[in-house]
Amino acid sequence: MDFVNQVVNFWLMTYPGHMNPSGVNLALLLIGGFRSMVDSATVELARRGYEDFRPVHEFALRAITAGADSASELGRRLSVSKQAAAKTIGVLQERGYVKRDIDALDARLKRLQVTPLGLDVLRQGEAIFDELRDKWAQQIGLAQLESLETYLTSLVGTSPERFDIPGWIGENLSRPNQ
């Protein structure tokens, strides 16, 4: 059975009479899965003491860890304005997740770095997502989950990590694609 038939059969079993198989419903189901995991992870992070941490902070910390060391670069990677990135940096800095260090080559520049607290919340988040994956495996079976992951990897590629989701979701349609 091919992937599309598996998804359709899953929909029909899970949502009898509520969803018609279509491209729109597939996209909404995928976004719904993402949202379900992220919302559950956010609640669990709060339970573990990170009440002030939001999904956008995860994207920002990961982008900073990957080399976005200024508001301009973070804005580009998150696909948001420099001002929105600066505001996010301010919040992360105020909460102790990032700090600014003077650049070793140019003392006029202050480079962003993720703090030990920021690295800890990233590790906690990764562990929570592993736990959520395990719950999904218990619900639908490990083989089915691994199959779903294999099919999704074949559709989206092996590097699905995108930092620009915060800006992409709220993208201004009057702006040309970049």
* Contact criterion met (CB below 8 Å) for 109 and 102: yes
Q: Is the pLDDT of residue 174 over 50?
A: no
pLDDT digits (tens, 9 = 90+) for 58-70: 989 999 999 998 9
Tell me the C-alpha to C-alpha distance, in Å, between residue 173 and each of 41, 83, 137, 168, 170: 30, 19, 38, 10, 9
Radius of gyration, alpha carbons of the chain: 19
Q: What's the confidence (pLDDT) of residue 15?
A: 60
Single-letter amino acid, residue 176: P
Q: What's the confidence (pLDDT) of residue 102?
A: 80
Separation of alpha carbons 6 and 59, rounded Å: 31
Angle (deg, nearest 10), helices 116-140 and 142-156: 120
**What are the boundaries of each domain within the chain?**
3-133+141-148
**Tokens, residue 48:** 């573990």
Hey, is 110 helix, strand or coil? Answer: strand
pLDDT digits (tens, 9 = 90+) for 103-113: 787 777 788 99
Where does the pLDDT of residue 169 fall: very low under 50, low under 70, confident under 90, or very high at 90 and above?
Answer: low
Domain 3-133+141-148 has CATH 1.20.140.160: no
